């Protein structure tokens, strides 16, 4: 699935303008790229320790992840991909994990919920969607995962909950600030780290329309993280980190359905 023609053209024009705006533009783009590769797990070093070989290898990892030609060079297409709207969770695991005997092991973060009934609470709501729409779209997202596994999800307004859901902006207390409209759309924490889901309040959250950022689709993705799944490099999967626009027939990919069943059982 690809970005819409208008969005892709606008993004390409913006990048080309940035590159041609002055002698320092290529340097700034490289700095941005290094920050991006570190943030999403493609370079496992602090920025001050990154050398040219680290940068090249990080680019190759990223290019392989997005299905591009692994040149190790910061070309226009690679730079454009770094500007795709996305989830701010890492793409590449940052720590060594036990080896498993099945292919989808790369999707497992390593923590799960012990409970089979998961309670969730919407703590703050967005400005662009009615509360009832938010609640119904969240229910659709939760049902997507519970349809293939033994988990049950219950929304509550009071009492203890497993997953807290917030619409917040900028710095919001978790060391992963949002960047305003576009760019990073949302992020979520794995079960061992609280399981909460945060959405950027600055986005134009929508439902059943190609306009704005589709809340149901992005909520379903973030919920995957809250249940213990990492990003997938399959662009058709719910757990792909990038948002390519509204998909009317949005559904679980076979690999991620099997992955969640391995974690929580088959329904």
Reported as a single tens digit per residue, the pLDDT across 206-222 is 999 999 999 999 999 99
Query: What pLDDT shows up at residue 92?
Result: 86
What backbone torsions phi and psi does residue 167 show, to the nearest 5 degrees?
A: -110, 115
Q: Among 52, 222, 255, 256, which one carries the catalytic annotation? A: 222
- For 112-153, the pLDDT digits (tens) are 999 999 999 999 999 999 999 999 999 999 999 999 999 999
**Whether pLDDT at 3 is above 80:** no
Residue 5, classed as helix, strand or coil, is helix
| Mean pLDDT of the chain, nearest integer | 89
196 is an annotated ligand-binding site residue: yes
Contact between 222 and 239 (Cβ < 8 Å): no
179 is an annotated ligand-binding site residue: yes
Average pLDDT value for residue range 217-240: 96
Residue 229, classed as helix, strand or coil, is strand
CA distance 82 to 80: 5
Please tell me if the domain spanning 5-84 has the same topology as the one spanning 103-264: no
87 is an annotated ligand-binding site residue: yes
Average pLDDT value for residue range 156-175: 96
CA distance 86 to 253: 18
pLDDT band at 93 (very low <50, low <70, confident <90, very high): low
Give me 232's structure tokens. 């997938």
Each domain of the chain, given as residue ranges in start order, spans: 5-84, 103-264
**Whether pLDDT at 67 is above 50:** yes
Q: Classify domain 5-84 at the CATH topology level.
A: Muramoyl-pentapeptide Carboxypeptidase; domain 1 (1.10.101)
Query: What pLDDT shows up at residue 227?
Result: 98
**Whether pLDDT at 241 is above 50:** yes
Average pLDDT value for residue range 29-51: 97
Max Cα–Cα distance, the chain, nearest Å: 59
Taking phi first (over 0 means left), then psi (-120 to 50 degrees means alpha), and beta for anything else, what does residue 163 get? beta
**Whether pLDDT at 9 is above 60:** no
Which CATH class for the 103-264 domain? Answer: alpha beta
Instruction: Give the pTM.
Output: 0.86
Active site residue 222: yes
């Amino acid at each position: 699935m690809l970005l819409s023609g208008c969005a892709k053209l606008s993004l390409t024009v913006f990048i080309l303008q940035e590159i041609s705006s002055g002698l320092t533009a290529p340097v700034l783009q490289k700095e941005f790229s290094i920050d991006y590769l570190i943030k999403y797990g493609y370079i496992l070093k602090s920025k001050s320790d990154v050398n040219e070989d680290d940068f090249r290898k990080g680019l190759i990892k990223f290019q392989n992840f997005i299905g591009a030609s692994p040149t190790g060079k910061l070309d226009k297409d690679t730079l454009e991909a770094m500007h795709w709207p996305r989830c701010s969770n890492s793409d590449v695991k940052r720590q060594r994990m036990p080896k498993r005997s099945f292919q989808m092991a790369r999707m497992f973060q390593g923590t799960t919920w012990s409970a089979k009934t998961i309670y969730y609470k919407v703590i703050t709501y967005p400005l662009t969607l009615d509360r009832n729409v938010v609640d119904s779209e969240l229910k659709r997202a939760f049902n997507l995962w519970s349809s293939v596994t033994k988990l049950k999800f219950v929304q509550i307004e009071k009492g203890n909950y497993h997953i807290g859901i917030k619409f917040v902006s900028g710095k919001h207390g978790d060391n992963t600030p949002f960047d305003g409209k576009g760019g990073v759309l949302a992020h979520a924490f794995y079960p061992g780290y609280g399981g909460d889901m945060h959405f950027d309040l600055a986005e134009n959250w929508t439902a059943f329309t190609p306009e704005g950022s589709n809340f149901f689709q992005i909520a379903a993705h973030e919920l995957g993280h809250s249940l213990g799944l990492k990003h997938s490099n399959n662009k058709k999967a719910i757990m792909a980190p990038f948002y390519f626009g509204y998909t009317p027939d949005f559904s679980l990919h076979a690999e991620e359905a099997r992955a969640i069943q391995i974690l929580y059982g088959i329904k």
